[in-house]
């Protein structure tokens, strides 16, 4: 309401009400998306800020390479800007963005496997696993070390999953997307998504029991 | 695709999905008695715990963000390909015409709507009113028609608020752009909870 009063004062001085847009934080996402669709760059920048981290984490866990993950984020958000006016349902925005990013990750992995000799260096795995577990765990050093070891293990085990299973698992378990959305993203049935998830979990638990 | 839909089963015949679905509940009688189910529950619970930690740690991890150059590159491209919508004739004189972009008028409209409690202005299309599209005209007399989509707070009096919004839009367009909004069509496309 403070905003309203401030405007009233300004209007009294100038007669015309100034052109001031609401803070984007005060709007719902669908409204911000609609404004970006109409070409508003501030609204688009707000969405880039809101999604770049999430999309990067998805792409990084899919591709295990910072540069490739950054390429996916950039390609996805540039395509988002270009195709935004065509998006009919603003509520579907995040699912649409995740779909574009996931498919770019899978394309990137297909390109990699066609030039076969890209092999994951153990050294790179080590560095990223360390980087990904340092913050967020406080307290008991022994428990910290144990958790850090589990995280390394889970992150490594993930990379051994077939790409489509990995995508299912990350979208569901880390990004909390719905089965229906994951199925649409991967162009498979929900039953297939459930099957892939179950096999991903079976494989991951199998790997985890090997570490003990 | 059949293999894709197969859900792995434990030795006792239960699917790993059933075991997963139940890990937040206390074990069933079968699960208490079945060694395979107990082992599966224990390892799935461990996976669930590790998953939660990974989700939390990754989200908090400052190193798991793209370099800021990525956002700069995206925004540079968006600015280079900025969309300002249609150009609308505002004023026609013997010496030339003045046009105004749809986006500039849209900002005025959004601003008018943002100051109204319970209204969120979304997509906006503006067209020259059909009877003024050709022929010379003088300043302040060009007519436009506005189509605005909005979301309103669920407790809002929709007809009263929409009418108030229409009057605000008309007066702000006159004050800031010098055009007449002949028609302001408002579509309430969504309700939101406050």
Domain of residue A97, CATH code: 1.10.1740.10
- Is A5 a domain residue? no
Q: What percent of chain A has pLDDT over 90?
A: 63
Number of domains in chain A: 2
Q: Are residues A38 and A95 in the same domain?
A: yes
pLDDT value at residue A142 = 79
Range in A50-54, A124-128, A140-144 the model is least confident about: A124-128
Per-residue pLDDT tens over the stretch A171-198 = 999 999 999 999 999 999 999 999 999 9
Confidence bin at A5 (pLDDT 50/70/90): very low
Cα–Cα distance between A58 and B64 in angstroms, integer?
Answer: 10
Chain B contacts in chain A segment 116-135 (CB below 8 A): 131-135
Residue A180 sits in a domain whose CATH number is 1.10.10.10
Residue A105: which domain range?
11-114
Residue A132 has pLDDT above 60, yes or no: no
pTM confidence score: 0.84
Decide if A146 touches B, using CB distance below 8 A.
Answer: no
Per-residue pLDDT tens over the stretch B90-143 = 877 778 888 899 999 999 999 999 999 999 999 999 998 865 445 555 544 678
Q: Are residues A38 and A96 in the same domain?
A: yes
Nearest residue in chain A measured CA to CA from B193: A28
pLDDT value at residue A96 = 97
Residue A67 has pLDDT above 90, yes or no: yes
- Is A210 a domain residue? yes
Q: Are residues A108 and A136 in the same domain?
A: no
pLDDT value at residue B93 = 75
Q: Are residues A90 and A145 in the same domain?
A: no
Across residues A52-59, what is the average pLDDT?
98
- Rg for chain A (alpha carbons), in Å? 22
Q: What percent of chain B has pLDDT over 70?
A: 91
Across residues A133-138, what is the average pLDDT?
46
Mutation target among A3, A14, A22 for the B interface, most CBs of B within 10 A = A22
What are the DSSP calls for B31-81, one per residue?
A: HHH-HHHHHHHHHHHHHHHHHHHHHHHHHH-TTSS--HHHHHHHHHHHHHT
Examine the fold and report which residue of A79, A114, A149 is the final residue of a domain before the chain moves on. Answer: A114
pLDDT value at residue B12 = 83
Q: Are residues A182 and A210 in the same domain?
A: yes
Cα–Cα distance between A81 and B68 in angstroms, integer?
Answer: 18
Cα–Cα distance between B90 and A160 in angstroms, integer?
Answer: 62
pLDDT value at residue B96 = 82
CB-CB under 8 Å, B54 with A174: yes
pLDDT value at residue B33 = 85
- Is A126 a domain residue? no
Nearest residue in chain A measured CA to CA from B120: A31
Per-residue pLDDT tens over the stretch B140-157 = 467 899 999 999 999 999
Q: Are residues A138 and A202 in the same domain?
A: yes
Q: Are residues A23 and A78 in the same domain?
A: yes
The mean of the pLDDT values for chain B is 87
* Complex confidence, ipTM: 0.87
CB-CB under 8 Å, A154 with B54: yes
Nearest residue in chain B measured CA to CA from A60: B64
Across residues A87-91, what is the average pLDDT?
92
pLDDT value at residue B134 = 55
CB-CB under 8 Å, A19 with B79: no
Across residues A152-161, what is the average pLDDT?
90
- Is A99 a domain residue? yes
Confidence bin at A14 (pLDDT 50/70/90): low
φ, ψ at B94 (rounded to 5°): -60, -35
Residue A150 has pLDDT above 80, yes or no: no
Residue A135 has pLDDT above 80, yes or no: no
Nearest residue in chain A measured CA to CA from B17: A198
Q: Are residues A57 and A146 in the same domain?
A: no
Q: Are residues A166 and A209 in the same domain?
A: yes
Structure tokens at A5: 């009063």
CB-CB under 8 Å, A82 with B5: no
Q: Are residues A105 and A151 in the same domain?
A: no
Residues of chain A with C-beta less than 8 angstroms from the C-beta of B72: none
What are the DSSP calls for A102-167, one per residue?
A: HHHHHHHHHHHHHSTT----HHHHHHHHHHHHSTT--S-HHHHHHHHHHHHHHHHHHHTS-HHHHH
pLDDT value at residue B29 = 85
The mean of the pLDDT values for chain A is 84
Per-residue pLDDT tens over the stretch B21-44 = 888 888 888 888 888 888 888 888
Q: Are residues A28 and A81 in the same domain?
A: yes
Q: What percent of chain A has pLDDT over 70?
A: 80
pLDDT value at residue A7 = 46
pLDDT value at residue B136 = 55
CB-CB under 8 Å, A195 with B6: yes
């Amino acid at each position: 309401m403070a905003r309203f009063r401030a405007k009233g004062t300004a209007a009294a001085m100038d007669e015309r009400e100034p052109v001031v847009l609401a803070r984007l934080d005060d709007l719902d996402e669908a409204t911000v998306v609609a404004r970006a669709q109409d070409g508003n760059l501030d609204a688009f920048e707000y969405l880039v800020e809101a999604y770049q981290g999430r999309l990067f984490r998805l792409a990084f866990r899919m591709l295990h390479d910072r540069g490739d993950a950054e390429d996916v984020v950039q390609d996805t958000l540039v395509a988002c800007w270009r195709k935004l006016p065509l998006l009919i349902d603003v509520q579907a925005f995040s699912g649409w963005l995740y779909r574009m990013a996931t498919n770019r990750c899978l394309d990137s992995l297909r390109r990699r496997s066609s030039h076969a000799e890209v092999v994951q260096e153990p050294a790179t795995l080590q560095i990223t696993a360390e980087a990904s577990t340092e913050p967020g765990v406080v307290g008991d050093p022994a428990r910290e070390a144990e958790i850090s070891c589990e995280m390394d293990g889970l992150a490594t085990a993930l990379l051994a999953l077939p790409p489509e299973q990995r995508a299912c698992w990350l979208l569901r378990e880390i990004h909390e997307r719905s089965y229906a959305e994951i199925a649409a993203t991967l162009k498979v049935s929900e039953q297939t998504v459930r099957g892939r998830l179950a096999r991903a979990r079976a494989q991951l638990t199998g790997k985890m029991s090997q570490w003990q | 695709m059949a293999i894709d839909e197969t859900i792995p089963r434990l030795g006792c015949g239960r699917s790993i999905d059933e075991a997963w679905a139940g890990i937040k509940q206390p074990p069933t009688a079968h699960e208490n008695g079945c060694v395979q189910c107990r082992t599966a529950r224990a390892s799935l619970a461990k996976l669930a715990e590790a998953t939660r930690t990974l989700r939390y740690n990754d989200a908090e991890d400052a190193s798991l963000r793209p370099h800021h150059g990525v956002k700069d590159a995206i925004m540079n491209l968006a600015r280079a390909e900025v969309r300002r919508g249609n150009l609308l004739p505002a004023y026609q004189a013997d010496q030339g015409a003045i046009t105004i972009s749809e986006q500039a008028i849209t900002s005025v409209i959004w601003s008018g709507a943002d100051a109204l409690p319970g209204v969120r202005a979304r997509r906006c299309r503006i067209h020259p009113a059909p009877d003024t599209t050709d022929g010379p005209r003088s300043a302040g007399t060009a007519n436009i028609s506005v189509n605005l989509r909005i979301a309103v707070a669920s407790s809002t009096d929709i007809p009263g608020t929409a009418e108030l919004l229409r009057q605000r839009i008309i007066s702000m367009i006159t004050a800031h752009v010098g055009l007449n909004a002949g028609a302001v069509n408002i579509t309430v496309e969504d309700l939101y909870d406050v």
